[in-house]
Amino acid sequence: MSHTASVVGGSGFTGGELLRLLAGHPEFEVVQATSRSKTRKTVGHVHPNLRDLDLRFSSPAELESVDVLFSAAPHGVAMGEIDRYREAADTVVDLSADFRLSTAAQYEAWYDGHSRPALLEEAVYALPELDREDLPGAELIAAGGCNATATILGLLPLFETDLLTGAERIVVDVKVGSSEGGAGGGDAGSHPERSGVVRPYAPAGHRHEAEIEEFLGIEVAFTAHAVDMTRGASATCHVFPDSPVSTSELWGAYRGSYAEEPFVEVVAGGGGVYRYPEPKTVAGTNRAEVGFELDPGSGRIVVFAAIDNMMKGSAGQAVHAANIALGIEETTGLGFGGLHPVGAP
């Protein structure tokens, strides 16, 4: 194992996923997991899939020196702790929104004031399909938002190939699982209230719009719904191109962008039960499924993208980016390919 690692905020859902991935990763050794609320409990006390891990949560007040520190603390924590993080580790990967956007103005427009704006420019967005070339050697990495990740992966080929100009009308209608709300969750997240829902929870103004607009350079009309699954984010993008686009152009674009990508699969039509991207197919994996269909009447392109919000949308993306940053073969530790059949993952 060539690198030591720690996880700040290890008792949350994405913290648990980080621990799972790092514990099974041949190039990382987990030396610390912190938790404010579960200090001294075993990791397996909170994450029953990790009972074999011989590790107890320690206080975030005392950070051990490691090669890579992953922070899964809530929004706003990392920017306050960033000096301590960087003192403790050469490479910091933050899973919150704190360092995702490029400018303090943008951050303030969507979140609050930023206490360390100078670092925004330094931080590298953790989505290799978008900016793989920026990741090697990066010392501050910001994993993207799950809904933004799904949307960006769905739309990216249309812009990489200039099928779109960026001025088009694009509606993004997202369906997400309950793990997006994190552990805890309040009344709305309790099982009786949350199960079976198709619940509009962000009709407009969802913060992940900021990332989509920054990294694709476009504006989208974004709405998110909570649906009855625990893991998963599925983005349906309704795109109205100015000039007609053919199915073969679409295949060309998506194959062009993703044929060599290890974690993106194009699923568009064909027979059988699974003809388009579905979040349950990628549950537990770092894979994204991306697909499309052309509406023959209107010329609308309907783009689908499905990910596991905690994996490709968070912890998996973070490990993927860290692999690249550290020069590790990028798929290392991310090989789990998912199950079939699987219920509501």
**Residues numbered 23-62 forming contacts with a copy of itself, rule: CB under 8 A:** 24, 41, 45-52
State the Cα–Cα distance between residues 256 and 97, nearest whole angstrom. Answer: 30
Tell me how far, at minimum, the Cβ of 161 lies from a copy of itself, in Å.
20
Q: Annotate 81-109 with b (16+ C-beta within 10 A) or e (fewer).
A: bbeebeebbebbbbbbbbbbbeebebbee
Q: Of residues 252-271, which lie at the interface with a copy of itself (CB under 8 A)?
A: 265, 267, 270-271
Quick check: is 237 catalytic?
no
Would you say 79 or 227 has its CB closer to a copy of itself?
A: 227
Contact assessment for residue 303 and residue 258, using Cβ atoms and an 8 Å cutoff:
no
Among 203, 242, 329, 331, binds a copy of itself (CB under 8 A): 203
- Radius of gyration of the chain from its Cα atoms, rounded to whole angstroms: 19
Q: Of residues 289-328, which lie at the interface with a copy of itself (CB under 8 A)?
A: 291, 293-298, 300, 302, 304, 306
Catalytic residue among 5, 7, 43, 146, which? Answer: 146
CA within 13 Å, CB half, 72: 29
Q: Of residues 66-125, which lie at the interface with a copy of itself (CB under 8 A)?
A: none
State the Cα–Cα distance between residues 183 and 309, nearest whole angstrom. Answer: 14
**Span interacting with a copy of itself, options 55-63, 97-105, 124-132, 287-295, rule CB under 8 A:** 287-295
**Span interacting with a copy of itself, options 11-19, 82-90, 119-127, 242-250, rule CB under 8 A:** 11-19
Dig out the tokens for 117 from the structure.
């704006």
Dig out the tokens for 12 from the structure.
């949350």
The reply on whether position 230 binds a copy of itself by CB under 8 A is yes
DSSP 330-343: TTTT------SS--
State the Cα–Cα distance between residues 327 and 319, nearest whole angstrom. Answer: 12
3-state secondary structure of 301: strand
The reply on whether position 231 binds a copy of itself by CB under 8 A is yes
Q: Of residues 163-202, which lie at the interface with a copy of itself (CB under 8 A)?
A: 169, 171, 173, 175, 177-179, 181, 183-185, 187-200
Tell me how far, at minimum, the Cβ of 51 lies from a copy of itself, in Å.
6
Would you say 119 or 210 has its CB closer to a copy of itself?
A: 210
Among 10, 145, 279, 333, binds a copy of itself (CB under 8 A): 279
State the Cα–Cα distance between residues 222 and 148, nearest whole angstrom. Answer: 10
How many chain residues are in contact with a copy of itself, going by CB under 8 A?
A: 95
State the Cα–Cα distance between residues 195 and 226, nearest whole angstrom. Answer: 10
User: Residue length, the chain?
Assistant: 345
The reply on whether position 343 binds a copy of itself by CB under 8 A is yes
Residues annotated as part of the active site: 146
